[in-house]
Chains A and B, each alone.
Chain A
Amino acid sequence: MVKVFIYPSNSLILSDLVDRFGHEPLAVMHEIGKKIKTAGLDSPPINITPEDPKKGLKYAAVEVPSGVRGRMSLLGPLLEEAQAAIIVNGQDISFGCMGCARTNELITFLIKAKNIPTLDLDYPRTEETARDFVHQIHEFLAGLDNIKTGTSDQSSGDE
């Protein structure tokens, strides 16, 4: 099983596809869920506190807007864990949406910079391309079973 970072990282469809094809989706919903369910000093817990954008300083400098750094405090650790990634470009907001273009740019750059197997796809707008979309994801995920996880020397698998 490979840890697959998905982008948009709150896409239920992508998360479900990765799960169905036998891998672990790295999706932001799980991270938000942890913040809501984990008991802490704040009761009920607050999703994001002013401390989170400070954690995001690991990924973006202080002059980067706090909303970007707050998002990175959730997504950055997921990205560090990732062994593969699926990026869907030009998606409809109903498919999944991170809300902030600067975060999107940083995330897609960091995925590429990590040099892990990556599937780069355009969002399908017709039934035919949707079938091909799912097929490509299936092929990509099936191929991940053969890679040596954690120490992958495979160059970026952009398709």
Chain B
Amino acid sequence: MVQEDLVRIAHLSCGSEYSGIQKEIETAAEIVNARVFYPEISIEEVQQVQDDFGLHVASSDLGLIMARARVLVEGNTNADAVLITTCFRCAEGAVVRNELRRYIYENSDLPVISYSFTERTTSGTLLTRLEALTTTARRRSLLAREHQEGLTAGIDSGSTTTKSVVMKDDKVIGRGWVPTTNVIQSANEAYNKALETAGVNRDEIQALGVTGYGRFLIKEEFNADLVQEEITVNSKGAVYLADSQRGTATVIDIGGMDNKAISIQDGIPGMFTMGGICAGASGRFLEMTAKRLGVDITELGALAVKGMQQNVEMNSYCIVFGIQSLVNSLSKGSVPEDVAAASCHSVVEQVFEQQLQEVEVKEPLIMVGGSSLIEGVPKAMEDMLNIKVVVPPDSQYIGAVGSALLASGFINK
């Protein structure tokens, strides 16, 4: 990774030291050239803060992080970004974590991310999140870019599929999409397809951006100008394609391995969450449903919008037991349309329950990624939130478009 400016991440934490994961947090921070520190506060500030906030907690470490949040908002400490962590399954910690994240987001310009950990949390789990946090802190001018210029390309090396686009003067002129097998080989195939449909040669490309799980590997292979995690890249691509670069927006990307929910202000992510614990809440569940119904994944959405999810009993969010519920429904005579609708509803319900509670949902709500093209998924989200969901053109290429857009900032470098 290219060494960039050091980012100072203020860590507001209850329990991470006693969970034995402090070293994991610091390791992830080191990889993205960041330093984690605890904002200094006085004991009087800890004693006073609960009365001032009107939030009284039984755990004194939570009072401590409230006092630290306040010195950050008041600008009394030199921080570039904020990481809030509390123990997974601690209700009191969850309340304070969510309220402090909101407080910092609404009262400062500091990018903030929160995470609930267990003793099994590793630096690898935290890396993409901290990379996004530091990118938002150090690349604000790049993320503010609203237009693609010149001839650029982007490659999104995802866990399930690899996507590539070629862009010229604010237009997507070439597209490539292949299943991910061998990371470099799949990237080559997708990139070649995009170049071929655009009618340009590789050496004509003025700048290349890469993102996704395989970004570090393909960065070396293609000598990319920009390598950036998918949270900031996808949010940039989403507001660009949905023509919502100014003001608020919320981006939801249900991916093959993880889901992202991102609150955006003027094209720059403010709060975001990245879920990845349960496969039952991922695009993989939809793939398995399509397979069980004997239809192609591209046909699942059309099937789902014709069905009624209420007609199918889903007893579990688990990818194994959830599919079992669907199989049982089919054996009891449920129609494929209802089963397809139930699977879309199940995935969306989990995203709603586990992730959308952690970000500010502000319109427009933009759904991106391959799963957004399964019509039943945005429909289920609309039904659940009772707001219009925007699926922009080329939404399945969102990471590649975001990369190509941001890469154009490197043309003259």
- Quick one: which of B14, B46, B90 has the most chain A CB within 10 A? B90
Known: A49-B20, A53-B119, A99-B14. A68 touches B59 (CB 8 A): no
Q: How many Å from the CB of A109 to the closest CB on chain B? A: 15
Report the separation of the CA atoms of residues A65 and B116 in the bound assembly, to the nearest whole angstrom: 10
Known: A65-B93, A66-B119, A67-B15. A94 touches B20 (CB 8 A): no
Q: How many Å from the CB of B65 to the closest CB on chain A? A: 10
Report the separation of the CA atoms of residues A93 and B43 in the bound assembly, to the nearest whole angstrom: 8
A-B contact pairs, 16 of them (CB 8 A): A47-B17, A48-B18, A49-B20, A50-B120, A51-B20, A53-B18, A65-B15, A65-B93, A66-B21, A67-B18, A70-B15, A71-B18, A97-B60, A100-B15, A101-B60, A102-B90
Residue of A nearest to B21 (CB): A50
The residue that A48 contacts in the complex, of B19, B90, B93, with Cβ under 8 A, is B19
* Residue B187 interfacial (CB < 8 Å): no
- Residues in chain A near residue B60, CB distance under 8 A: 93, 97-99, 101
Seed contacts A50-B120, A70-B15, A70-B17; 11 additional CB < 8 Å A-B pairs = A48-B20, A51-B20, A53-B18, A65-B15, A65-B90, A66-B19, A66-B119, A67-B18, A70-B19, A94-B43, A100-B18
Report the separation of the CA atoms of residues A102 and B58 in the bound assembly, to the nearest whole angstrom: 9
Structural contact, A101 and B15, CB atoms closer than 8 A: no
Residue of A nearest to B118 (CB): A66
- Residues in chain A near residue B93, CB distance under 8 A: 65
Interface residues of B in 129-156 (CB under 8 A from A): none
How many of chain B's residues have a CB under 8 angstroms from any CB in A? Answer: 31
Report the separation of the CA atoms of residues A67 and B117 in the bound assembly, to the nearest whole angstrom: 9
- Residues in chain B near residue A70, CB distance under 8 A: 15, 17-20, 119
Q: 1/0 per position for A133-151, CB-CB distance to B under 8 A?
A: 0000000000000000000
Q: How many Å from the CB of A155 to the closest CB on chain B? A: 29
Known: A65-B93, A66-B15. A93 touches B47 (CB 8 A): yes
Residue of B nearest to A51 (CB): B20
Q: How many Å from the CB of A92 to the closest CB on chain B? A: 8
Structural contact, A54 and B89, CB atoms closer than 8 A: no
Report the separation of the CA atoms of residues A101 and B43 in the bound assembly, to the nearest whole angstrom: 18
* Residue A46 interfacial (CB < 8 Å): yes
Structural contact, B89 and A65, CB atoms closer than 8 A: yes
The residue that A53 contacts in the complex, of B19, B22, B46, B92, with Cβ under 8 A, is B19
The residue that B90 contacts in the complex, of A51, A67, A97, A104, with Cβ under 8 A, is A67
- Residues in chain B near residue A48, CB distance under 8 A: 17-20, 22
